[in-house]
Amino acid sequence: MPKPILLAIDDDTSVLEAVVQDLRRHYGQSYRIVRAASGGAALDICRQLLERKDTVALFLSDQRMPGMTGVDFLQQALKLYPDAKRVLLTAYADTEAAIRAINAAKIHYYLNKPWDPPEEKLYPILDDLLEAWKQGYKPPFEGIRVIGVRWSPTDHAVRDFLSRNRIPYQWINPEQHPDALTLLKEKGIDDGKLPVVLFGDGTALVQPSSSDLAQKLGIPTQAQQEFYDVVVVGAGPAGLAAGVYGASEGLRTLIVEPNAVGGQAGSSSKIENYLGFPSGISGDELAKRAFLQAGRLGAEFLLQQVTCIRSENQYHIVQMKDGHEVTCHVCLIATGVSYRKLEIPGSDRLSGAGVYYGAALTEAMSCADEEVYIIGGANSAGQAAMHFSRYASKVHMLIRAGSLEKSMSKYLIDQIKATPNIIVETQTEVIAMSGEEHLECLMLRTPQGEEARAASSLFIFIGAAPKTDWLPKELACDSKGFILAGPELKAKSAGAWRLDREPYLLETSIPGIFVAGDVRYNSVKRCASAVGEGSIAIQFVHQYLATL
């Protein structure tokens, strides 16, 4: 971003040079110093700067100049840059005129010549003025801009992808900022094809997919090598931990994730029971740290969706959605779980248009001063309720049970009880929802009977469904799709393990394919547990590799 400008004006070249040198010495790192030898020339410079959309922070103008006095110039400069600070340089004889000009030109200060030493007579004054200017200055946003409407599922998907991948952006809703449509028209883009993502280099993507965004943003979507010691599928806490330990112990490690690093835990607004963070840590920040740590140790990350795994001659071939394949000795499944769909009238049609699965923290600001509804009584729902309570007027937690005690940690229950705008409604469930272009009404079944509630935002945290339908049929799962591993293979799936040796603790029914985290049968659904499993999985990977 270009530096803000300090513009010095004086017809005396020696004085002007002295002013510029003093300004450059003290402010050159943060500001661009520009000079002009007359008021007329300074006005021409100001008009050119406006055309280039440059910012002027301060004018420092001499009073006695032929053709246009300093006061006259500052009066006209006020119209071009009303927020810039205005300082007049005067001789002692002009002091009275300068005082009168404070109202006429709205100057902020006048300085008598000479100003030596500047450390005492110039810099302290300008420091105060520039600090005041910075308080009200909002630099123009030059990053990614997303133009889209709030209730569009595609718009939500774009913003969620950018947010979860920690990519800063500015969201512009044309309903609130009609000038956005003018901007699209200037670029020749049909405003009926929202969302549109505008980039700092002047290019744009219309209704982009996650893959389109990843390629444009330089996020790797293809593996650098064809063979790895370990391919980790999923970059949640378990996958990230496996990546850290695998890479640190010299294994060629690839981590493949279809959406964003962090998994379900990455969308948690605050995790307060994770060891080593007494004040808590957001899931996003924890994922960011793990991502950087794994990358520093040598793990490679790939934004892709794995569609199948097949095994040939003690090797495993991992196929991506784009058709590319990588081969590995060991594959670790750490795909986690997703929230189960709410099977009620209206839920599919309104998904992404007021109905969201998971925290969807990108929608928090949009819910300001509204009533938000949350379904679920586990920790993830409680963390979301606490986060939305900072923005919404009320947060309704709807749970079918009689209380939160059996499903939520006590620290969260205590926080919810102490938050006045969170309302826990027990023995309550949503039985239908409706709305034209977005969610408008919820039909609830409560202990008092059925009732309709006006609602525009519903966030769903009900149960855990494993993401395992893409795995080979030979890989044993329980009836719900959770992956069986270790001793549980024999207990739950007789005949699934066919080798003479016993399976390792986290090894699946296919030798060399391991599992860690929430997707494993009978796992503890906690972030710390997933991290632990991902870490110890690498120990069993080494043991397996030693048998090859």
Asked if residue 484 and residue 448 are part of one domain, the reply reads no
Count of the separate structural domains present in the chain: 4
| Helices 237-248 and 283-297: angle between axes, nearest 10 degrees | 20
Listing DSSP states for 354-418 in one string gives TEEES--GGGTGGGTTSEEEEE--SHHHHHHHHHHTTTSSEEEEE-SSS-STTTS-HHHHHHHHT
Asked if residue 298 and residue 324 are part of one domain, the reply reads yes
Asked if residue 98 and residue 33 are part of one domain, the reply reads yes
* Residue keyed to tokens 């937690």: 397
**pTM score:** 0.76
* 222 found inside a domain: no
Asked if residue 417 and residue 535 are part of one domain, the reply reads no
Q: Of 183, 199, 217, which closes a domain?
A: 217
Identify the bridge partners of residue 422 per DSSP, sorted by sequence position: 395
Are the beta carbons of 303 and 217 closer than 8 angstroms?
no
Identify the bridge partners of residue 394 per DSSP, sorted by sequence position: 371
Asked if residue 110 and residue 63 are part of one domain, the reply reads yes
With 90 as the cut, is the pLDDT of residue 48 above it?
yes
Asked if residue 121 and residue 210 are part of one domain, the reply reads no
Asked if residue 475 and residue 364 are part of one domain, the reply reads no
For 110, the 3-state DSSP assignment is: strand
Q: Of 462, 482, 500, which closes a domain?
A: 462
* 185 found inside a domain: yes
Residues 6+ apart with CB under 8 A from 225: 252, 254, 300, 326
Q: Which helix (H) or strand (E) holds 255?
A: strand 253-257
The radius of gyration of the chain's CA atoms, rounded to the nearest angstrom, is: 31
With b for 16 or more beta-carbon neighbours within 10 A and e for fewer, the 220-237 pattern comes to ebebeeeebbbbbbbbbb
Helix and strand totals (H; E) in the chain: 16, 26
Q: What count of residues does the chain have?
A: 548
Are the beta carbons of 265 and 271 closer than 8 angstroms?
yes
CATH of residue 161's domain is 3.40.30.10
Mean pLDDT across the stretch 287-312? 95
* 342 found inside a domain: no
pLDDT at 527: 92
Q: Which two tokens stand for residue 40?
A: 């007329």
Asked if residue 478 and residue 409 are part of one domain, the reply reads no
Per-residue DSSP letter, 213 = H
Q: Which two tokens stand for residue 38?
A: 């007359």
Q: Which two tokens stand for residue 245?
A: 């330990």
With 80 as the cut, is the pLDDT of residue 94 above it?
no
What are the tens digits of pLDDT across the range 180-213?
888 898 888 988 889 999 998 889 999 999 989 9
Strands 144-147 and 85-90, bridge-based pairing = unpaired
Q: Of 462, 481, 512, which closes a domain?
A: 462
Mean pLDDT across the stretch 117-144? 87
CB atoms within 10 A of CB 30: 12
173: left (phi over 0), alpha (psi -120 to 50) or beta: beta
Asked if residue 392 and residue 535 are part of one domain, the reply reads no
Give percent above pLDDT 90 in the chain: 72
Domain coverage including residue 35: 5-136
pLDDT at 538: 97
* 131 found inside a domain: yes
pLDDT at 107: 83
Q: Which two tokens stand for residue 202?
A: 């002047």
With 80 as the cut, is the pLDDT of residue 467 above it?
yes
pLDDT averaged over the chain?
Answer: 92
